[in-house]
Structure 1
Amino acid sequence: MGKQLPQLTDNLKEFISNQKIFFVGTAAETGRVNVSPKGMATFYILNKQEVLWLNMTGSGNETAAHMLKDPRMTIMFCSFDKNPLILRLYGKAEVFHERDEAFGEYITHFEETAGARQIFKLNIDLVQTSCGFGVPFMEYIGERETLKVWSEQKGERGIKEYWTEKNQTSLDGLETGIFK
């Protein structure tokens, strides 16, 4: 059954390393709550209380906008294979853009990927597990190449133009800070 812990354990770190998808939840003090699925090799564990995830260019930029209003973030992993488990990481997050010194340090933890937009660092204040008995079995087939190919075809200039057009404000009209 479920447990609450102050930090990641070695077993939970191993569990995370075996997952192919995670979900990020954020919200400002008002407006819409955002939950985004994330894949690819975009998650990295710094230590038992700090994790990073590389945010790729997408049609929206809700998470970045929410961080400017309220740094609360929840990251959730769930197992779709033989050993059921749901893992939630709660805490406060920071966002780093290419212009930030920390971005240059943290990007080294990830494979070079066209379209990298931000890096988020979550400072964990609570780790919670639950059974996952209601999560269905699903089979991992592979990663989609669509975003990678699209980003490579756009090139750096095209990506920045896309950010200008699609990533400067949230659904609720909040600034994302992408070009601050």
Structure 2
Amino acid sequence: MGQRYLELKDSHREFIAGQKLFFVATAMQDGLVSLSPKGMDSLRVLGPRQVAWLNVTGSGNETACHIEHSPRMTLMFCAFEGKPLILRLYGQARAIHHGDPDWPDYYGLFEPLPGARQIFLLDVELVQSSCGMSVPCYQYLGEREQLNDWARAKGEAGIRDYWRNRNGVSLDGLPTGILEKSGWASVDETSQS
């Protein structure tokens, strides 16, 4: 059944590399818990105790807001094919934004995705495996391209407007700072002058 590890083993890395989907959970002391599915080849294992994932523009920006207040993050992977397994990575996360000096280095680890918003670095404190025998089997049919198509059609200015109008405040009413941290707030100020 379940086991705990202080770092990712080679078998964990192989399992993660084979997954097309993972889940991200964050929460602050108070307020709503955020739990989101992620895909699009957006995760990289950087070492036995660190992973990075590329976050693209979506309907909310809860993860970035949450880790500003409480950097706890959990990633979960489930085997939907083959041998059953659930793998959870617990740790402390930080966001890297477009305006950060190390954005180009980390972004270079990924295939460019339209609407890329942040890269989250998770410093892994605990790895937990469990059986996953109750998870049903599903067949992977392919990636959905609608989000990429939507972001390409919006273009950079449209994405910036979307961030301002839809990603600037969390569900709990807290500012996410997306424009300021991306370096795009100054672009807005210049365009309004």
1:139-175 deviations in whole A, cap 9, x for unaligned? Answer: 0000000000000111111101100000011000112
Number of residue pairs matched by the alignment: 180
Structure 1 residue 48 displacement after superposition: 0.5
Q: Distance in 2 between matches of 1:128 and 1:92?
A: 15
- Give per-residue Cα distances to partners, 1:6-46, cap 9 Å, x unaligned: 00000100000000000000001100001000000100011
What's the counterpart of residue 59 of structure 1? 59
Runs of 4+ aligned structure 1 residues displaced above 3 Å come to none
Tell me the equivalent position of 1:50: 50
User: Structure 1 counterpart of 2:164, which letter?
Assistant: T
Q: Which residue of 2 aligns with 1:74?
A: 74
2:59 partner amino acid: S
Query: What do residues 39-86 of structure 1 show as CA deviations (whole Å, max 9, x unaligned)?
Result: 001000110100000000001000001011100000000000121000
Task: Specify the alignment match of 2:164 in structure 1.
Answer: 164
Stretches of structure 1 that go unaligned for 5 or more consecutive residues are: none
> Is the radius of gyration larger for structure 1 or structure 2?
2
Alpha-carbon distance in 2 for matches of 1:41, 1:120 = 14
Q: TM-score, normalised by structure 2?
A: 0.92
Kindly indicate whether residue 26 of structure 2 is the aligned counterpart of residue 26 of structure 1.
yes
CA RMSD of the aligned region, Å?
A: 0.6
Q: Which residue of 2 aligns with 1:116?
A: 116
The letter for the 1-side match of 2:172 is D
The separation in 1 between residues aligned to 2:136 and 2:102, in whole angstroms, is 38
% identity of equivalent residues: 53
